[in-house]
Structure 1
């Protein structure tokens, strides 16, 4: 890999203002091509219209939310407190570089977008490694960014034969240009990726499998709980990392729950799902057969399956810990019922699992549910809802074998930046203050500390503090001062005092720091023929989004700032400065 994929200059050097319109452009492009991508998804992974539509709507939400977070200033730096007097700590965020995103097939549009959009939003370039089971959908995602106006080399797409996956992925992870890997998929493959990344000392973001439980307490709305559990087990044929595998029902209501669940199963009579491949179908059938052999009773949505490529909805009763179904992720349209004595037993079953992605609690006692949720070792808990729930405004990820790190919202953006801390310490200040300053005890070429200068000029500043060579009239005052204050001053970090006044024009700057470099060799105060009050040469003006700081960096000129003779001009400049800050 060479070229712009590695150098990634475009988005890094471009401001957030450059990246946001590009991100926003993705949404209308996707809307205009949604029918095309829905048909592609249905042909590749055999999903129904409902799942294809969910993929499009959630993808649009993800795009719009990512753009919003940038405009909201979520990724701006901070200015924390530092101990040395007169010092300021600046914490910047910056992109990592090249990010490798490995997307799965089961929700190909949304999960491929999720793999690349947060890295792009934070200024990285991306390599999207597509799945051999959904190649056209993943290629559609790569094309989407090109159609939205992203420059060439920012989003890069790689596809390979299934047998070449270990070699290709290993090469990409080892390449020095790749700075981080994000992967969504099985725990087995995630473990291999984490091992290779560990050898290369590269961070990874992993969203892996789950054995997700729905807990039904005795005071729950049993009918709604049964309906939600079955929906969570069968959406997209159960091929979702958050799919409901087990229902942990208190014994007092387990018979009622069985009856309601059977009722909802009958409403799906004849329903069956074509899984992504015969290997998946065989694995699901093996789990069902093992459970039946060890004492479970099974109810299916269809008794006589004529199409061998289809897998019926199956409910397994009396599941216990000796069965493979109890601990193994199903990834198919199956649901197991486990009777528990109380909520403590339910919590223990959830926490004893090797996985920790999602869970649901059904109860009418919201406070008890909240307390119970805090005890569960999972990434997300859904009270009175399905285990299948994800939104662009929420963090998404798991614990234990379900992975680590978080996709989604600001948590997802922060996965793809690093911080840099810069601590500024004030140097000594050399001042040549002229006659007026000398009368205050600050003599020519006297070296003074910053704090001394601050103490001398901590009070309000008005026109009387700066003698002009001709009358400077305002509606508030009239003065005729013949002396000119000429000074050369290095101003490093000077606190901006609230309620400071320039020519009786009230200024209230709630800023933390002002960094200004007045070039003494090139500019001296009030020496211009225009009788300017000041001619400041700034290198570059950067304003923190909150108005917390003004920093000087190379590249921007603010020159010929003239106050001479006009209160209106003075006030106008004040308004301009305030607009920059606020």
Structure 2
């Protein structure tokens, strides 16, 4: 026998040693034929827990479970779906400190940020619950013939796969799964190999909330097994939609694998966000917004400010004020009080950031001012990457200008005119988010409309919210999450035309 199934208790305990099995059809599934893997705390290098490494057998079992559940759940009352989401959110809120601790232990962000993420995650569930109470909204269409009465209705697309990242391991699960469940879909979640325990914890709370068997399944695995699992999930015709958050190359691969079955594909991919500070800006507000947009989660976010573009007339003042705030950042174990920058998620991430920074300095170190309290930009023990400001001024030819840094590195460039700033901002294959700081309303409109991206934050360092649709242009993705558009991603339109 390949795997052993144990029914979950209706009152699961949030004990790390017990959060290790795949959750399929509301049951713990321990994989016996495959070795388990360890979830590692990046701050200490110690194991957080041992996790079942799922393979083909568990994947096919989860698909069958999700398909069976969908046959029943697609016809459920919208009010019952709303109640499930609210009950799930209430349980996560009740256990918010325990869930937040698990986030910090698995991926390293400061506990205060983890706690904020948990609250952010439940806001999606409450939002989707409130939205779905009135049902999926269709429309009566204008008849093309006198005796026709055409109606467009929305129906759930079918079983959904969500592949979620490690950097926001609670919020990315609820933002995807909450919308899918609100639409009437069942869900299979394949979490990052770096944060599997968070997803498994959420699954156990979902069972306690009364989720029917098969509504929310979780398949943890190593990156090697996930490549095989992902291919199966993409190619199986019983899966109707795929929602993925991660790197652009992986998103492209998954999209190709979904092509033969013509699945609905939603992709939230990489970013190279510009943050533009005009001479018309409130500089103190721009500095505060930059600190938020750049250094939250140690810069490990697809919409983090990646290229900071500052008008020449205020460049020196802005960099000076940013440095004053920057040097107060405290790096350390996320479970320690007062820490504002935790480790990067793993050694691979550390090496990538180091390579981007050192590679760019090797191109033109003489024209880049390094502000870090230490001229050795790679100082710090792996995976703790010491935050650094690179004052690049006019040197936007450096490799770092085109790379998604995904670390606590603020690369700052100068520009002369508004037109030049827009051209620099759009000089990337990505188009997720941009930030603008200006007190000139006309300028904010002009620039916002000319930026090639899906989201623009004006005089703010963060705009992601349950009400606001999240998504990008170009190679930053397809589709939207959150808001009412997030639910629409998991529905199909159907025309019903009555002849009188």
Measured after TM superposition, the shift of residue 200 of structure 1 is 2.7
User: Are 1:248 and 1:339, in contact at CA under 8 Å, matched by a contact in 2?
Assistant: yes
Q: Name the SS for the 1:254 alignment partner.
A: helix
1:393 to 467, 484, 498: 467
Q: Name the SS for the 2:301 alignment partner.
A: coil
User: Are 1:311 and 1:333, in contact at CA under 8 Å, matched by a contact in 2?
Assistant: yes
User: Are 2:297 and 2:341, in contact at CA under 8 Å, matched by a contact in 1?
Assistant: no
- Tell me the equivalent position of 2:356: 287
Q: Which shows bigger deviation, 19-28 or 353-362? A: 19-28
Point out 4+ residue stretches in structure 1 off by more than 6 angstroms. Answer: none
2:428 to 350, 353, 366: 353
1:189 aligns with 2:250: yes
1:143 aligns with 2:204: yes
Q: What is the CA–CA distance in structure 2 between the aligned matches of 1:278 and 1:81, rounded to whole Å?
A: 59
- Tell me the equivalent position of 1:415: 489
Q: Highest CA radius of gyration, 1 or 2? A: 1
Distance 1:301 1:136, change over 3 A: farther
Measured after TM superposition, the shift of residue 16 of structure 1 is 0.9
Measured after TM superposition, the shift of residue 227 of structure 1 is 2.5
- Tell me the equivalent position of 2:101: 39
- Tell me the equivalent position of 2:129: 67
- Tell me the equivalent position of 2:138: 77
- Tell me the equivalent position of 1:534: none
User: Are 2:380 and 2:386, in contact at CA under 8 Å, matched by a contact in 1?
Assistant: no
2:83 to 15, 21, 33: 21
Measured after TM superposition, the shift of residue 115 of structure 1 is 2.2
Residue deviations 1:9-35 (CA, integer Å, cap 9, x gap)? 232121212212111111211111111
Measured after TM superposition, the shift of residue 360 of structure 1 is 0.8
User: Are 2:241 and 2:263, in contact at CA under 8 Å, matched by a contact in 1?
Assistant: yes
Measured after TM superposition, the shift of residue 3 of structure 1 is 4.1
- Tell me the equivalent position of 2:345: 276
Distance 1:301 1:382, change over 3 A: farther
Distance 1:123 1:272, change over 3 A: closer
Structure 2 unmatched ranges of 5 or more: 1-59, 332-339
Q: What is the CA–CA distance in structure 2 between the aligned matches of 1:233 and 1:3, rounded to whole Å?
A: 42
Measured after TM superposition, the shift of residue 233 of structure 1 is 1.2
| CA-atom RMSD in angstroms | 1.6
User: Are 1:95 and 1:123, in contact at CA under 8 Å, matched by a contact in 2?
Assistant: yes
Q: What is the CA–CA distance in structure 2 between the aligned matches of 1:127 and 1:146, rounded to whole Å?
A: 14
Number of residue pairs the alignment of both structures matches: 424
Q: Which has the higher contact order (CA 8 A, sep 6+)?
A: 2
- Tell me the equivalent position of 1:337: 412
User: Are 1:16 and 1:70, in contact at CA under 8 Å, matched by a contact in 2?
Assistant: yes
- Tell me the equivalent position of 1:267: 328
TM-score by length of 1: 0.71
1:172 aligns with 2:233: yes
| Counterparts of residues 230-241 of structure 1 (less than 5 Å) | 230-241=291-302
Q: What is the CA–CA distance in structure 1 between the aligned matches of 2:217 and 2:278, rounded to whole Å?
A: 49
- Tell me the equivalent position of 1:96: 157
Q: Which shows bigger deviation, 407-416 or 49-58? A: 49-58
User: Are 1:229 and 1:244, in contact at CA under 8 Å, matched by a contact in 2?
Assistant: yes
Measured after TM superposition, the shift of residue 349 of structure 1 is 1.2
Q: What is the CA–CA distance in structure 1 between the aligned matches of 2:318 and 2:380, rounded to whole Å?
A: 30
Distance 1:308 1:155, change over 3 A: closer
- Tell me the equivalent position of 2:30: none
Measured after TM superposition, the shift of residue 297 of structure 1 is 2.1
Distance 1:112 1:423, change over 3 A: same
User: Are 1:115 and 1:128, in contact at CA under 8 Å, matched by a contact in 2?
Assistant: no
Structure 1 unmatched ranges of 5 or more: 427-582
TM-score by length of 2: 0.82
